[in-house]
Each structure stands twice: as structure tokens, then as C-alpha cells.
A = this chain, B = another copy of it.
């Protein structure tokens, strides 16, 4: 098995931390996104979508999205469960993951990719080029700020994002919070639940990766 990663990028970290929480040790290939290695011929053969993470199985099958990698890992190595154990837990994790992805992660990406000089002409990942939309950068920033409130409420008094169990929702929420720093947006003192939870999950070994 082989894991195509990029140590500086938030998306592959969603799988890197998932692998660590499963207690797995998988050979890793670093792809340097800052040097645009994903646009080169070699990586284009690995993933024509030009994105990491990619998980290559022993039979050569390649899983090309975070969701695909994590679905395979959860089904193959069910313990500890990171997508919830019971049906209701699975629903709670899926619900949190949806909001963190669409209202959190994509909002940071909108804010960044539509404003950063290095992203001119590359406002979306993937094989097609799109110009930046300045109004979308601003909307992204607004949504990220709002999502800090949402995430604080989502966590509430619970130990973890989706309930009393650690899950992929904690991985994604932590990566969202750290990704938002790229826009210089951080949780405030009013986000007491979020700050308490963040200190807890940041201390786990997987969060050092």
C-alpha cells in the first residue's frame, strides 16, 4: 500500500490523521504542491484530477479522494471506528462531516483560492482552470467567521464534535480550524466549547502529524 501525501496541505492531512488514529503504518510518498508537483507528468499518471490524497492499494487500485480513502480504511480496519459505531453515531458523524466540509472547509478554500496571488487562474483544484472571483473570497471569509460560531455550538458540552466518541469529525474540525489561520481567522474567547475541545484533541499524537 502507498499513500500520496503533502505535508503542508490540509486535505491529505485528513487522511494522514485518520491513518494514525487507526494505528496503521503505510508507506508515504510526498508530493510537493508548493512546487506544483501535482501538475507534472509523473503525478498526472497517478491521479488525473491532480489532487492528493491518493491511496494506492496492493493490487494497484487507486483511491483518489479523501472520502474514498477513508471509506476503504474504515471498512478494512473497522477498529477503532472513526465514522461512528451505531447507526445513530454514523449519522451524527456524517452530519458533522457534511457541515465541516461544505460550510467550513470549502469556505476557507473559497476565501484563499480567490484571493491568493499564487492561485491566480487556479481558483478551484482539479484539472480545469478558473479565474478568481474577489466577491467569493470575501464571502468565503464571512462564512468561515460564521462557521466558528456554528462549530462552537455543534461541540456544545460534548467531549468531541459528534458526541462522546472521537471520530473523523474531530479530525476535520481541527484541520478546518488550523486551515482558517491561513485567512488569519481564529476562534475567539467567546468560543469556549471550541477552545476547550481544541486543546484536548490537539494533544493527541495524530494531531502532531
Contacts from A to B (Cβ < 8 Å): 57, 61, 63-72, 74-76, 83-84, 86-88, 90-95, 97-99, 102-103, 106, 124, 126, 128, 130, 133, 135-136, 139, 142-143, 146
A33 to chain B, nearest CB (A): 19
Known: A65-B94, A72-B91, A94-B65. A146 touches B128 (CB 8 A): yes
Q: Which of B71, B97, B102 contacts A90 (CB 8 A)?
A: B71
* Docked-complex contact A139 and B133, CB < 8 angstroms: yes
Q: Which of B70, B88, B143 contacts A72 (CB 8 A)?
A: B88
A13 to chain B, nearest CB (A): 17
Q: Please give, as numbers and ranges, the residues of chain B lying within 8 Å of A126 by CB-CB distance.
A: 103
Q: Please give, as numbers and ranges, the residues of chain B lying within 8 Å of A87 by CB-CB distance.
A: 71-72, 75-76
* Docked-complex contact B68 and A95, CB < 8 angstroms: yes
Q: Which of B70, B103, B133, B135 contacts A94 (CB 8 A)?
A: B70
CB-CB nearest in chain B for A132: B135
